[in-house]
């Protein structure tokens, strides 16, 4: 089967090549899937660059999340050959989703929400589960609170805008251009900030009448984190998700103490299977009720998977980029 594989780290468009790959027989707890659609995230660009903790050395076959049809199943797997599911792939072992077939552990298979097309389902798990873990589980966002979402036009950010609204918050989103701000509004943001024109804390002060925000959802880090920390209301929570700016948040302990806010890490992978399935059911219901909906940016054919990753890596995407494989 064909897979996009990088033998050395670098930019996806330079180092990924389509090669023939043999997958092993799935062990008793794993499945092989025929990939239908694959979601593209910044982690795919980061792992091909060699800047992602779960992939320490090449070769790399990126692609974290897919929709696929099970083609071979180990003895302990409840799902059957022929079932179509959402899967988190074994990308960390060189068997990611930008390939005609990939592998997944039985604990990484999830039902597709009723009525969700394959193109959306391949971009559902990572952004929406991360938003759920960050906002609801770790941050305990309450209706009526004010939420600031950094990187609002990205895949993590747009999911957090939608889920923040669904949980009853007032949502402020940041982005770098008028077009991206319009997109954030279309996702439900009540207010938007062009961080290239106005420092985030100054804009937040104006929007909230000096009150500040109760929560920050931060997939960006760097300066955006530092400015957002200055926009915190007392007893707020900053949820650390990622580092799309290239730098993680640099937490200032004294500022954290004086303003009395919490800095909270949130990782979608750090949950029990039971918690994850319960949250998947809640998120699926929110989709079925029309409260959340994966915003597909662009669908690329399999042969253009490196260009799909490049679109995310160069900050051109609004919402979720998808690769159609079969």
| CA 35 remoteness from chain centre | 19
- CA dihedral (154, 279, 34, 51) in degrees, to 10, reads 40
DSSP 302: G
Q: Are 237 and 262 contacting, i.e. CB atoms less than 8 angstroms apart?
A: yes
**Region near ligand NAP per CB under 6 A, out of 75-83, 102-110, 152-160, 161-169:** 152-160
Q: Does 130 bind ligand NAP (CB under 6 A)?
A: yes
Per the DSSP assignment, residues forming a β-bridge with 52 are 55
Binding ligand NAP by CB under 6 A: which of 217, 243, 261, 302? 243
Beta-carbon neighbour count of residue 162 at 10 Å?
25
Residue closest to ligand NAP, measured at CB = 154
Q: Does 155 bind ligand NAP (CB under 6 A)?
A: yes
Question: What are the E-state strand segments in 212-319?
Answer: 213-218, 232-240, 262-265, 296-301
* Residue placing its CB nearer to ligand NAP in the complex, 130 or 284: 130
C-alpha torsion sign, points 82, 88, 94, 96 = positive
**Region near ligand NAP per CB under 6 A, out of 4-12, 72-80, 81-89, 146-154:** 146-154
Binding ligand NAP by CB under 6 A: which of 147, 160, 266, 286? 266
* Residue placing its CB nearer to ligand NAP in the complex, 177 or 256: 177
Q: State both tokens at 273.
A: 């299977």
Beta-carbon neighbour count of residue 196 at 10 Å?
9
**Region near ligand NAP per CB under 6 A, out of 69-77, 162-170, 206-214, 242-250:** 242-250
The nearest distance, CB 195 to ligand NAP, in angstroms, is: 5
* Residue placing its CB nearer to ligand NAP in the complex, 21 or 231: 231
Smallest CA-to-CA distance from 159 within 195, 127, 133 is with 127
Q: Does 198 bind ligand NAP (CB under 6 A)?
A: no
Q: Report helix, strand or coil for 85.
A: strand
Q: Does 126 bind ligand NAP (CB under 6 A)?
A: yes
Binding ligand NAP by CB under 6 A: which of 18, 71, 137, 176? 176
Q: State both tokens at 2.
A: 């064909």
Which residues contact ligand NAP (rule: CB under 6 A)?
Answer: 41-43, 46, 126, 130, 150-151, 153-157, 175-176, 180, 195, 219-220, 222, 224, 241-245, 266-268, 312, 315, 317
């Amino acid at each position: 089967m064909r897979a996009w594989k990088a033998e050395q780290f670098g930019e996806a468009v330079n180092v990924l090549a389509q090669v023939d790959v043999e997958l092993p027989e799935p062990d008793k707890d794993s499945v092989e899937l025929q990939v239908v659609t694959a979601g593209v995230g910044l982690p795919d660009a980061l792992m091909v660059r060699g800047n992602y903790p779960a992939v320490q050395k090449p070769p790399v076959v990126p692609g974290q999340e897919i929709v696929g049809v099970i083609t071979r199943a180990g003895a302990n797997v409840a799902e059957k050959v022929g079932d179509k599911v959402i899967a988190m792939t074994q990308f960390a072992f060189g068997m990611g989703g930008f390939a005609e077939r990939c592998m997944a552990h039985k604990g990484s298979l999830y039902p597709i929400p009723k009525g969700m097309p394959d193109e959306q389902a391949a971009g559902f798990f990572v952004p929406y589960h991360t938003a759920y873990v960050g906002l609801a589980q770790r941050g305990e966002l309450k209706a009526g609170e004010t939420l600031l979402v950094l990187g609002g036009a990205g895949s993590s950010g747009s999911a957090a805008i939608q889920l923040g609204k669904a949980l009853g918050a007032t949502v402020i989103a940041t982005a770098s251009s008028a077009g991206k701000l319009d997109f954030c509004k279309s996702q439900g943001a009540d207010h938007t900030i062009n961080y290239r024109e106005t420092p985030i804390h100054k804009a937040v002060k104006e929007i909230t009448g000096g009150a500040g925000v109760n929560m920050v959802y931060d997939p960006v880090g760097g300066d955006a984190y530092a400015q957002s920390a200055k926009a915190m209301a007392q007893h707020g929570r900053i949820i650390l998700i990622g580092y799309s700016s290239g730098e993680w948040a640099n937490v200032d302990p004294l500022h954290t103490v004086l303003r009395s806010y919490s800095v909270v890490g949130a990782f979608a992978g750090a949950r029990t299977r039971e918690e994850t399935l319960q949250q998947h059911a809640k998120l699926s219901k929110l989709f079925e009720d029309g409260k959340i909906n994966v915003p597909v940016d662009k669908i690329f054919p399999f042969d253009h998977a490196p260009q799909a990753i490049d679109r995310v890596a160069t900050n051109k995407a609004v919402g979720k980029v998808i690769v159609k494989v079969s």
